[in-house]
Amino acid sequence: MPRNDDVRFTSCSIKLPPLGHNSSITFFSKLQFTSQFLINSLMKPQKSLNFNFNLKKNSITNFFTNFPKPLNLLSSFRFHPPLKSSLLCSASLALSDGGNAESDLSGSTNQTVLKSPSQSQITSRDEERVLISEVWVTNKDGDELERKDLESEAKNALKASRPNSALTVRDVQEDVHRIIASGYFASCMPVAVDTRDGIRLVFQVEPNQEFQGLVCEGANVLPSKFIEDAFRDGYGKVVNIRRLDEVINSINGWYMERGLFGMVSGIEILSGGVIRLQVSEAEVNNVTIRFLDRTGEPTVGKTRPETILRQLTTKKGQVYSMLQGKRDVDTLLTMGIMEDVSIIPQPAGDSNKIDLTLNIVERKSGGGISAGGGISSGITSGPLAGLIGSCAIYHKNLFGKNQKLNVSLERGQIDSIFRINYTDPWIEGDDTRTSRSIMIQNSRTPTLVHGNQPDSNSFTIGRVTAGIEYGRPFRPKWNGTLGVIFQRTGAHDDKGNPVIRDFYSSPLTASGNTHDDMLLAKLETVYTGSGDPGSSMFAFNMDQGIPVWPEWLFFNRVNARARKGLVLGPACFHLSLSGGHVVGNFPPHEAFAIGGTNSVRGYEEGAVGSGRSCAVGCGEVSFPLTGPVEGVIFADYGTDLGSGTTVPGDPAGVRRKPGSGYGYGLGIRVDSPLGPLRLEYAFNDQRKGRFHFGVGLRN
C-alpha cells in the first residue's frame, strides 16, 4: 500500500494548539488491541463508532446527579472511540422557587433556570406534570436565532414539548436529547419563564460552528482525495455531528475493506470552524519467526529465517493488512515445506505499532523416496497398455533455502524417462523473485506423428536433453520464462537400434542422420486467473533453433493456448482454443499431432492429422451431479490447416489421416487431490466411439 505523505490540508489560516495528553489516543493501549481483537474486528461486522446522544431510561438518574449544568460542546468538542459508556449531552428540568429575573423576551417575568433536582425529588418530579403555555427556541442569550433553518431543525426535533401541553421532567429531558441528537447544536438549556399567560418553556441552544477547514493527522495510507471528498459537501455549513459520524464510519470502512489496521481515534472542533481529525494506523514494527512442532512446542527450524522473510510482502513500516497477511501465509504454504503457518499481531509497547510473530510448523521431512504410477496417452499395445510406474529421490529444502532436487525414473511398456532436476525458486540476492531450474533428461517416448507401423514393428523417439531456465513474475498473474536447451533426438526400434525411416520410407530425422542436434532458445509467457470456474488462462510458447554448428537445426516454433470460463447458474461453460505454427528445418516427429484425449476426443492420439500448423477448439458445459462428481457435455474440432503435406515425408497423408475432424460426447469428472479425474466417451465425425481417461484439466 503506497504511503500518503501529505494529507494535512486546511482551507483557512489558523494556528492549531497541540492536542493535550488526555486527548491523545494510543491505538493499542486504549483499545486493548490484542491479536484476537484485530482478527475479530476485521473478519466480523464491527460496531460503528457512533456519537451516542440517546440516554437509556436508567441513565436519567445518573444524569441529574452528575450533570448539574447543561452540556457545552462548542468550546471543545472531542470524540474518542467508546472505551466506556459516556454521556455526550445532558440537561434537566425542575420547577423550583427561583428569584425574579429580567426577561428580554417579554417584559418583567419570573424566569426559572431548570436545574437538576436532588435524588429524593427525582421520582416525584418525573411523574409531576406542569402545564406549558408556550414553547420557544432561542440562542443561549435568550435572543432570537439568526438562522431560521436552525430554529426549524430544533422545533422539528421536539416531540413532547408543545404549547398547552402538560409535561414532566422526563418529557423535557427527552426533547433536549432530541435537539442535541439532530446534530446541529453544541448545547441546549431548558428554561421555564413564568408569564401572565402561563409558563413559557424556552430551549436556549447554541448552534455548532460553520465548517471552514480540516486538519487530518496520522493518515499515511488513506488517500487525501478520499478525505476531501468525504468533507467537501459540508464546507461552509453548520457542522452536523450526525454527518461527522457518517464520515468517520466511511473512513473506518475504507480501512476495513482493505483489511488495514486503521481507524479514526479522535476528532475535535476548534475555534474558527476547523475540524481536527486524528487517525491511528498500526504500522509493522518487527517481524519474528517462531518454529513449532506439531504439539505447539518451540523447536529448532530447518529453514533459514531469511528464506522465509523474503517471501513476505508485509514489511516493516507498512500499515498492517490482514488481507496482505493472508496472501503471505498462502505464499509460504506454496513453498511446499510448511505444514502450517499463522501470523500473530501484538502491540509494540505504547506506540501505534505492532509486532508480527510467524508461527511455523515445518513438514516432518524435507526429503525422501517416493513411488507411484500413472497412465500414458502414448500409443502402446498389450494388456498393460498405457500404464507407467515411477520412483523418485527428492529433497524439497536443500541447505534450508527452499531449493529442490529431484531424481526420478518413469517406466512404461515402451516409455521411459530419467530426469535430474534442480530448482531454486528464488535466487539469492535477487529482488524480482527470479527462479532458476537446471535439468538433465534422457527419455524414450512413442511418436504420435508416425504411429504404430503396419508390420507391427514399433519405434520410439529418444531424447537426451540438458538445459537451464530462468523464470519470474513480471505482472500480477503473469509469469515469464527464458531458457537455453540442448537436445539430441533420434528414432530407435524396439531393440534399441537407430532408425532413420519408417515403414512408408518417411524420414524420421531432419538431417538424414541417425540423430538431430539442436540448441533451443525458449520463451514462455503464462497468464493464470484466479482458478475459479469463470477465470481465464493464456499461455504462449516459442522455441528458436540456433545453428551453432552447420548441421544443427534452424527453425522457429510457436504455439498458444487459451481457456475462458463462464458461470451459467449451477453450470459452467468453458471455451478452449489452441494453435501453433513451425517454420524452418525441423524434425518430422515434432509436427503438431491432432486428435486424442487432450485434443479432439473420439479419435485416437494423433489420428486426425499432423502438420506444420494446427488449430483446435473445444466447448464444454459442466454441471454438478453429487458431491465431488460433476457431469460434462463437450464438442471438439481440430484441423492442420492444410499443412500436413508440408511435413517431410507427409506422414499424415500416407496414413490417410483426414487432416480435420470433430468429436462430441459426455463424461463425468471427480475432484481429487491429483486434480480432476476425467472419464469421457466421445463419437467422432466418422460415427466411431471411444473412451478417454485423463487426469487434470484439458490442455
Q: Could you report the per-residue pLDDT of 651-678, keeping only the tens digit for each?
A: 999 999 999 999 999 999 999 887 889 9
* Position with higher pLDDT, 237 vs 385: 237
This prediction has a pTM of 0.69
Q: What is the pLDDT of residue 377?
A: 53
Rounded CA-CA distance 175/290 in Å is 59
Of the candidates 203, 205, 173, the residue with the CA atom closest to the CA atom of residue 190: 203
Q: Which amino acid is at 678?
A: R
Q: What is the pLDDT of residue 7?
A: 36
Say whether pLDDT at 23 is over 50: no
Question: How are beta strands 198-207 and 130-139 bridged, if at all?
Answer: parallel
Rounded CA-CA distance 359/328 in Å is 13
Q: What is the pLDDT of residue 87?
A: 24
Confidence of residue 61 (pLDDT cuts 50, 70, 90): very low
Q: What is the pLDDT of residue 493?
A: 87
Q: What is the pLDDT of residue 126?
A: 52
Grid cell, residue 305, equals 529465517
Say whether pLDDT at 69 is over 70: no
- Mean per-residue pLDDT, 303-325: 93
**Weakest mean pLDDT among 46-55, 367-376, 579-588, 644-653:** 46-55
Q: Which amino acid is at 372?
A: G
Q: What is the pLDDT of residue 520?
A: 97
Say whether pLDDT at 624 is over 70: yes
Q: What is the pLDDT of residue 522?
A: 97
SS3 619: strand
Q: What is the pLDDT of residue 158?
A: 94
The fraction of the chain above a pLDDT of 70, given in percent, is: 79
| Residue 194, phi-psi category: left (phi > 0), alpha (psi -120 to 50), beta (remainder) | beta
Confidence of residue 496 (pLDDT cuts 50, 70, 90): confident
Rounded CA-CA distance 322/38 in Å is 9
Contact in structure between 638 and 599 (CB atoms under 8 Å): yes
- Mean per-residue pLDDT, 502-517: 92
Say whether pLDDT at 638 is over 60: yes
SS3 29: coil
Confidence of residue 459 (pLDDT cuts 50, 70, 90): confident
- Mean per-residue pLDDT, 182-189: 93
Q: Tens digits of per-residue pLDDT, 258-297?
A: 999 999 999 998 888 999 999 999 999 999 999 999 999 9
- Mean per-residue pLDDT, 507-515: 93
Q: Which residues pair with 575 in a beta bridge?
A: 564, 619
| Residue 551, phi-psi category: left (phi > 0), alpha (psi -120 to 50), beta (remainder) | alpha
CB neighbours of 310 closer than 8 A, spacing ≥ 6?
426
CB neighbours of 199 closer than 8 A, spacing ≥ 6?
130, 131, 132, 133, 192, 193
Q: What is the pLDDT of residue 385?
A: 57
* Cα→Cα distances 581→56, 282, 509, 615, 658, Å: 78, 55, 19, 9, 19
Q: Which residues pair with 206 in a beta bridge?
A: 187
Q: What is the pLDDT of residue 384?
A: 53
Confidence of residue 361 (pLDDT cuts 50, 70, 90): very high
Q: What is the pLDDT of residue 81?
A: 37
Say whether pLDDT at 484 is over 90: yes
Q: Tens digits of per-residue pLDDT, 81-130?
A: 333 322 223 333 333 333 333 334 333 345 555 544 454 454 545 568 88
- Mean per-residue pLDDT, 606-633: 95
Q: What is the pLDDT of residue 542?
A: 98
- Report phi then psi at 261, rounded to 5: -85, 85
Q: Tens digits of per-residue pLDDT, 395-454?
A: 999 999 999 999 999 988 778 999 999 999 999 988 889 999 999 999 999 888 887 677
- Report phi then psi at 177, rounded to 5: -60, -40
The angle subtended at Cα 315 by Cα 314 and Cα 317, nearest 5°, is: 125
Q: Tens digits of per-residue pLDDT, 551-588?
A: 999 999 999 999 999 999 899 999 999 999 999 999 99
Q: What is the pLDDT of residue 694?
A: 87
Say whether pLDDT at 326 is over 70: yes
Of the candidates 648, 637, 636, the residue with the CA atom closest to the CA atom of residue 612: 648
* Cα→Cα distances 624→123, 506, 535, 628, Å: 68, 48, 18, 8
Say whether pLDDT at 32 is over 60: no
Q: In the predicted model, what is the mean pLDDT of the chain?
A: 81
The fraction of the chain above a pLDDT of 90, given in percent, is: 64
